[in-house]
């Protein structure tokens, strides 16, 4: 079945043949986009789950050409891959917090436990301010701001370059002309700067409203400045 035939079948509730064809399509797109082989099954399952939910509640895609369907699937693959990466990055923090909590229960001091929980608190407050900054963004630009957040975090936590993350998110092939890549990278870096500025402004606003403490605001500001390293 072609990608558009799969979408048409899903709109009608789906058939065994359509679900098999969709699974094959998603697997191919995941294999080409996700570097770590051990992550591919998780990403593919998440994409299929989201599409199954859409099939039940109403597909978000209205494509009439195969290329549009493939690009839509590719975007879902990128989003699910980024979500998996975030969980992987946060897992050591949460594991450390749990381990230190067990040690504290066994007799460690409250000071030891508070120090171990500091990193987890920083991640939580950063997430809170980032989501507030994104929600305050006009709806038409909100997805772009989410993409900027994913990209600046990817640049900070990995060895990827701006060209790497932009090519992956924009679907640029290796033989894309240098000027096309340069323009895409410049656009992305402007979005990254706007995201950082929005984070700083939001942290000031949330502190003024008493939503976060001055210490939390200082933590967020420091983390935002760290994101500029790359």
CA 86 from chain center: how many Å?
A: 7
Better-scored residue on pLDDT, 182 or 118: 182
Burial pattern 81-90, b for ≥16 Cβ within 10 A else e, equals bbebbbeeee
Q: How far apart are CA 55 and CA 48, in angstroms?
A: 10
Count H helices, E strands: the chain? 9, 0
Q: How far apart are CA 196 and CA 149, in angstroms?
A: 9
Better-scored residue on pLDDT, 130 or 171: 130
CA 207 from chain center: how many Å?
A: 26
Contact 148, 192 (CB under 8 A): yes
User: What does the pLDDT average to over 143-158?
Assistant: 80
The third-level CATH classification (topology) of the domain covering 1-92 is Rna Polymerase Sigma Factor; Chain: A (1.10.1740)
Residue 149 has pLDDT above 90, yes or no: no
Q: 11-68 pLDDT, tens per residue?
A: 887 788 888 898 999 999 998 888 778 788 888 888 887 787 777 767 767 767 888 8
Map out the domains of the chain as residue ranges.
1-92, 109-230
- Which of the residue ranges 10-19, 27-36, 104-113, 151-160 would you say has the lowest mean pLDDT? 104-113
Average pLDDT across the chain, whole number: 78
CA 162 from chain center: how many Å?
A: 16
For residue 212, the model assigns a pLDDT of 92
Closest to 11 (Cα-Cα) out of 46, 62, 72: 62
Instruction: Report in angstroms the alpha-carbon separations of 6 from 33, 39, 72, 144.
Output: 21, 25, 13, 28
Q: Provide the whole-model pTM.
A: 0.50
């Amino acid at each position: 079945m072609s990608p558009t035939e799969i979408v048409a079948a899903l709109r009608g509730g789906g058939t065994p043949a359509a679900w098999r064809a969709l699974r094959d399509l998603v697997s191919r797109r995941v294999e080409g986009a996700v570097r770590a082989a051990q992550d591919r099954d998780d990403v593919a399952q998440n994409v299929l789950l989201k599409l199954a939910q859409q099939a039940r509640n109403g597909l978000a895609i209205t494509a009439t050409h195969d290329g549009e369907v493939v690009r839509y699937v590719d975007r879902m693959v990128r989003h699910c891959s980024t979500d998996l990466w975030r969980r992987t990055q946060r897992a050591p923090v949460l594991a450390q917090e749990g381990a230190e909590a067990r040690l504290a229960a066994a007799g460690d001091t409250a000071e030891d436990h508070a120090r171990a929980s500091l990193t987890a608190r920083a991640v939580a407050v950063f997430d809170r301010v980032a989501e507030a900054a994104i929600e305050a963004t006009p709806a038409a630009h909100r997805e772009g701001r989410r993409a900027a957040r994913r990209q600046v975090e990817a640049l900070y936590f990995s060895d990827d370059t701006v060209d790497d993350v932009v090519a992956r998110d924009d679907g640029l092939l290796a033989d894309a002309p240098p000027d096309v890549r340069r323009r895409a990278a410049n656009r992305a870096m402007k979005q990254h700067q706007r995201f950082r500025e929005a984070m700083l402004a939001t942290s000031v606003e949330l502190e003024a409203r008493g939503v976060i403490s001055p210490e939390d605001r200082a933590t967020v500001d420091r983390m935002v400045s760290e994101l500029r390293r790359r």
